Chain A
Amino acid sequence: MTINGLLKHRESMLALVIVILIGAVGVITPDFLLAKSLLGAFNDTSMLMILAIGQMLVILTRCIDLSVAANLALTGMVVAMINSAMPGVPIPLLIILAMAMGAVLGAINGFFVWKVGVPAIVVTLGTMSIYRGMVFLLSDGAWVNAHQMSASFIDFPRNTLMGLPVMSWIALGVVVLLFFVTRHLRFGRDFYTAGGNPTAAFYTGINVGQVQFKAFVISGMLAGLCGYLWVSRYAVAYVDVASGFELQVVAACVIGGVSIMGGLGTILGCVLGALFLGVINNALPVIGVSPFWQMAISGAVIIIAVIANAKAERAPGRIILRRAVTGAADVNPTTATAVAKS
């Protein structure tokens, strides 16, 4: 089997696991299999999916964005406060504002990575605290509650269009758009080249730092979008909104087969990774398991997923022997040498 086949294989494996998971839950609670529940689960996963796609672009370039949840909380608070102060501002404008603001917050991360050369994990660790703290400074610790928000503000993601809530449509839109961008535009391919082999990318004339900057801007922009969606969906904005969600986002990527070493990962994988976590989160209460299990299970899943991916990713040994070449078509990845990667 070619590596390409293996990758597709990995994604279809994940899809299969999700289907089995849904089936198993369905055996215990047949109601879970109703279109309504499944679409509900999808809708619940929308934001995780959107954020995971943004995160993937960052991880592809060998960086990481730990500030997405704080970014989300800050933009969410800003749009909620604007809405409560000026209910007349149209929702689409608010969404654009949220995305623009998220993009700026992402650009700050990108600036430090690109122009100052600070490792992404340090930058986003710092901005994660800063953005979160700014929510407090802005709101003075007060909540913006449902009754302070306009009806249209709260209803927008809930409105259904051809049977699907707008929230789901937005997620689908982001998935399709970024699938197109990462597959069919140079802009999107640059994330793969810059992260896959930065030296080669540089030789090719690609400005690796600039590509990293772009990844952070997109990740921030999507976090801003989710800022509005989150606050509107849960009809509340406060300091600790989505606290710790950045790790779920990274987890969705890792489960979806995005390599933390950069250059490897697909939009489809991200979507499946997010769905996997989403199905588990939705299924637990349905089958009567305490929601307190959620965190432990997702932790275990992350570890199992990275182990599985690490095994699949391990480079096969160099093929020198002619007699090995004939068998090279189905090289067993476990024949890797100890020094293959270091």
Chain B
Amino acid sequence: MEQVMTRTIPNTLSTPFKRFVFRWETFLLLVTALVFFANTQISPYFLDPWSLSDMTFNFSEKAIIALPMAMLIICREIDLSVASTIALSSVCMGLAAQAGLSIEVICAVGILVGIGCGLFNGFIVTWFNIPSIVVTIGTMSLFRGITYVILGDTVMSDYPSEFAFFGQGYIAWVISFEFTVFLILALVFYVLLHHTNFGRRTYAIGNNPTGALYSGIKVNKHKVVLFTLVGAMSGLAAIFLTSRLGSTRPGIAFAWELQIVTMVVLGGVSILGGSGSILGVVIAVFLMGLVTFGLGLINVPGIVMTVIIGAMLITVISIPAVLAKLRERKGRSV
């Protein structure tokens, strides 16, 4: 029964157009455009370049962490300790500044502390095989707690004056330094997730950790690297935030972890792991920035924005779930 293959199997069936239309990112882009348009109607000041530039300061630091966080969540893990890592990093930079060290050393301290925190999370999660949500709830208290121990209720603000550039400087016209760094990092993480072996392994682990292990992927090592990346980016964000505020308080970046996770999930990354894209996260970052900024323009207080962002998170996640249920019901009745 020798069967001759009469037709060859194509590499792919879907066209680029089809792939574009049926994507979460396209939907997000539409929503973002709508919000953008609404903002222009709400306030005449919105389209002012300086006001748009101000907007970027509100989200760049969080967005920098959202990029590796997206990869971590795709890989079925999560890090809730990022805001506390920022706090610890910031305090250590404050100590370095107090000791009169140079700016380069201060920045290195910030990033190294972040890396240390990420490594710590990664090792505890992989060595003991504990769900990362529990571990990072613990380290969230631990890292923030250490900043309280060091700072008490004091404030550190003796940073060298040139340090202000990172969080307040512009590289050209209205384009801020930290926004530029975010854009570059977005590109780097886009390539990392979508165009490297490392990124492919991230998806494989997120879809099926056991299958990935059986396929020869060093799952634990991979996870430690991702945790470390998140830590390093938290350290970087700490530099920007500390520089922008010009001071460190123990409550710095409080509750940011939830906003960052919201950005990631809104960007179409499945909280159960295995799917999502950097493009989606970047659009979600802008969407959240625009919503927050637009509400700010009409003087809605910050806490109310959390209501709207919380509602947005649940609604946006529910839409595909509800659609899937409806489709299933329809399919059953046929």
A-side residues, CB < 8 A to B, are 64, 112, 116-119, 121-123, 125-130, 132-134, 136-137, 141, 239, 244, 247, 250-251, 254, 260-261, 290, 292-300, 302-303, 306-307, 310-311, 314, 339, 341-342
List the count of A-B residue pairs having beta carbons below 8 Å apart: 150
A sample of 14 inter-chain contacts (CB < 8 A) reads A116-B321, A116-B325, A123-B314, A126-B313, A130-B306, A133-B308, A247-B140, A250-B134, A251-B141, A292-B152, A298-B141, A299-B141, A299-B143, A302-B134
Q: Which residues of A contact B131 (CB under 8 A)?
A: 260-261
Asked whether B210 lies within 8 Å of A342 as measured between CB atoms, the reply is yes
Asked whether B124 lies within 8 Å of A303 as measured between CB atoms, the reply is yes
In this assembly, does B213 line the interface, its C-beta being within 8 Å of a C-beta of chain A?
yes
Given A293-B145, A306-B135: 8 more A-B contacts, CB < 8 Å: A122-B313, A125-B258, A129-B306, A141-B303, A247-B141, A299-B141, A300-B142, A303-B138
Q: 0/1 per residue, B143-179, Cβ < 8 Å to A? A: 1111011011100000000000000000000000000
A-B CB proximity, top 3 nearest: A296-B145, A299-B142, A299-B141
B-side residues, CB < 8 A to A, are 124, 128-131, 133-135, 137-146, 148-149, 151-153, 209-210, 213, 255, 258, 261-262, 265, 271-272, 301, 303-311, 313-314, 317-318, 321-322, 324-325
In Å, the complex CA distance between A314 and B129 comes to 9
Q: Which residues of B contact A239 (CB under 8 A)?
A: 303
Asked whether A133 lies within 8 Å of B141 as measured between CB atoms, the reply is no
Q: Which residues of A contact B152 (CB under 8 A)?
A: 290, 292
Asked whether B143 lies within 8 Å of A310 as measured between CB atoms, the reply is no
B148, B262, B272: the one contacting A292 at CB < 8 Å is B148
Q: Which residues of B contact A314 (CB under 8 A)?
A: 129
Tell me the smallest distance from the CB of B112 to a CB of chain A, in Å: 20
* With A126-B313, A292-B152 as contacts: A302 and B137 at CB distance below 8 Å: yes
Asked whether B138 lies within 8 Å of A251 as measured between CB atoms, the reply is yes
Q: Which residues of B contact A125 (CB under 8 A)?
A: 258, 261-262, 310, 313
Tell me the smallest distance from the CB of A155 to a CB of chain B, in Å: 31
Q: Which residues of B contact A307 (CB under 8 A)?
A: 124, 128, 130
A118, A128, A254: the one contacting B258 at CB < 8 Å is A128
In Å, the complex CA distance between A293 and B148 comes to 7
Closest chain A residue to B121, Cβ basis: A303
In Å, the complex CA distance between A260 and B138 comes to 13
**Residue of A128, A133, A314 with most chain B CB atoms under a 10 A cut-off:** A133
* With A137-B307, A293-B149, A307-B128 as contacts: A121 and B137 at CB distance below 8 Å: no
**Residue of A122, A239, A314 with most chain B CB atoms under a 10 A cut-off:** A122
Asked whether B145 lies within 8 Å of A295 as measured between CB atoms, the reply is yes
In Å, the complex CA distance between A116 and B314 comes to 10
Asked whether A133 lies within 8 Å of B303 as measured between CB atoms, the reply is yes
* With A129-B258, A310-B129 as contacts: A260 and B148 at CB distance below 8 Å: no
Q: Which residues of A contact B151 (CB under 8 A)?
A: 292
Asked whether A306 lies within 8 Å of B314 as measured between CB atoms, the reply is no
B130, B265, B311: the one contacting A130 at CB < 8 Å is B311
Q: Which residues of A contact B272 (CB under 8 A)?
A: 119
Asked whether A122 lies within 8 Å of B271 as measured between CB atoms, the reply is yes
Asked whether B139 lies within 8 Å of A303 as measured between CB atoms, the reply is yes
